Amino acid sequence: MLVNLGRFVENIRPRIKGRVGVTNGIFDLFHVGHLSHLWICKKYCDCLVVLVNSDKSATNQKRKPTISEQHRARLIDEVNAVDFTIIFDEQTASDAVRAIKPEAYLKGIETRERLPEEDACVEVGAEIIYTGPKIESTTEILERSHE
């Protein structure tokens, strides 16, 4: 279900029984690596919340997304492993992690060297879990398309 962060924190989160897991990303050019990551994430929680970077925050991080934030969020929300999808504007998901207070924060193994949300996870007591192996990335797909 696509919801905004405020509604999720105030109305939905208090009613969730079980372990909440959060992951985040741009999810541009949705591919099998994204799909695999989401299904692995779901194995670690009862309720999976996916935070999708807005067009603005994605552009500031890497490049302007090929697919709009609404379309990316809708694609993510259609994956059966995903319970809630939230679009966020900030450069990192730290504020959303602090607000949601998940029991688990899940990221792909390729982010192990730098995790901007680490401090927020420690503050709320979220277990940090790295999923893997890395299968593919949007950057790799785009680079191959220009060969």
Across the range 61-87, mean pLDDT stands at: 93
Instruction: Label residue 114 by pLDDT band (50, 70, 90).
Output: confident
Across the range 50-64, mean pLDDT stands at: 89
**What CATH number is associated with residue 124?**
3.40.50.620
pLDDT above 90 for 8: yes
Length, in residues, of the chain = 147
Question: Rounded mean pLDDT of the chain?
Answer: 91
Instruction: Label residue 44 by pLDDT band (50, 70, 90).
Output: very high
Residue whose pair of structure tokens reads 């191959």 in the numeric block: 144
The tokens describing 94, both together, are 């730290």
Which domain, by its residues, includes 98?
A: 5-145
- H helices of the chain, where? 5-7, 32-42, 55-61, 69-77, 94-100, 118-124, 138-145
pLDDT above 70 for 66: yes
Across the range 94-102, mean pLDDT stands at: 98
Instruction: Label residue 127 by pLDDT band (50, 70, 90).
Output: very high
Residue type, 35: L
Across the range 80-109, mean pLDDT stands at: 97
Least confident of 43-57, 62-76, 132-146: 132-146
Across the range 13-18, mean pLDDT stands at: 97
- Phi, psi (deg, nearest 5) at residue 27: 55, 40
Closest alpha carbon to 83 in 49, 39, 33: 49
Structural domain tally of the chain? 1
DSSP state of 11: I
Distance (Å) of CA 41 to CA 47, 89, 104, 109: 10, 22, 9, 12
Distance CA 88, CA 32 (A): 23
Distance CA 117, CA 86 (A): 16
